Structure 1
């Protein structure tokens, strides 16, 4: 399990990947630590740690007494993402929610009962319970202990989530503050085309498929220029990770939503935001229609 500082290095490595792709850096480009540190707003030490992670994966290379250099062409990196190891907090969050969905834990528990069951320290437990409460999944009892809220009824919650998203996400494209990042759009399009053309999508990990899906929806929300839209979509993605994760074994549906995402991306790139809104609504309606059968099949 990664320490917070180690986890930060993984996040920073992904930021450096974005820099390489956005700047269209070719093999042999010198990655100067101080320039990167100034660009991202951190010191040279975490930059060095992040570059080492990229070197371990063959994306950059070290040259003695000279530093780090790009090893792979930028256009080969569009589908690469450094997976961030989970923290103790994140692992406990996922375990608690999954156990509740499986009825493996009671509806109401004390902090002591949770700590004993999962072998977690009090500080991590307190942080996790606070986050669960912020996400609307649990509430503190009047006396002591915590109670899981009806949000964690998987079938009901999944339908309610899509109904909420149908109200929210298509509207984002129509805001006067909607400003797309064309470089981000193209990078996302290439990631989706890779999945659409993949000869055996079943061999792609569920984690990668989910992250691609979630990143697309968060990208569209970020273009709105409204922090409340972004926060709402991020919250929904956290719920979806728990409630929908199993659906990513459905190869046909995965490639269908990839095509739907690409259609939305193309509408955004063309500047037709009304069309992008309509296509997002259609996309979410298709997903809502598919959700009940997926649940019945053990999703």
Structure 2
């Protein structure tokens, strides 16, 4: 309970059913038990939560094997295929993603999006999409485009706006084949340094690398006539550099950001992004 923060999502268990989800209003605080007994102390803690009903309800027993498989350590589910009794068990990322996906297929879908914050949800959705796309690339399922295909897409895009290509939550969808093309064009080598080696991917043909949009896709709304999901804006990075530009402090993010920009500044200039414009992008979307 001490770990809970404002905005955390809480999945309920009522009679073996996931029938409510909650959004924490804030961290827990000391609070006297209003119904003390011999088995329960008077002193305790409380978390204020806004609860929302899920209809139809979701039966945990139909999903518990998968949830148990995704459990990182002792948690909400036990080997007897039951839900443990207790308060506020932590979920692994896999368990959260699984339950969130279940809830997000119910009629309350947009309600969940609104309550956790649209920007946070779009980040969550984009991360999930990227992970799936990287997986398909590295198992050899998704291939890059050849020059003829790229030319055809460029021609098609002249007659279509980027924001017409959106997900159900109005986030601009990305094309996994562009990511694959980026990795292939850079021979699966990190653009920060070719010495950044990782490990062999599932195909055994290349080392594992990831892609990053230097101008984030969430900025697409600011550039309605320019497709940000394109090769000029896609960067091949090792997982460490990719994590650094997402989760590092300002100087760490700047090191990756400006290194890439200076290598690509001619390409960015062609579509209207000089150093000042890129600084504005960095300040707006990276920090």
- The answer to whether TM tops 0.5 is no
Question: Normalization by structure 2: what TM-score?
Answer: 0.30
- Of Structure 1 and Structure 2, the greater helix share is in 1
Select the structure of larger CA radius of gyration. 2
Question: Normalization by structure 1: what TM-score?
Answer: 0.29
- Of Structure 1 and Structure 2, the greater strand share is in 2
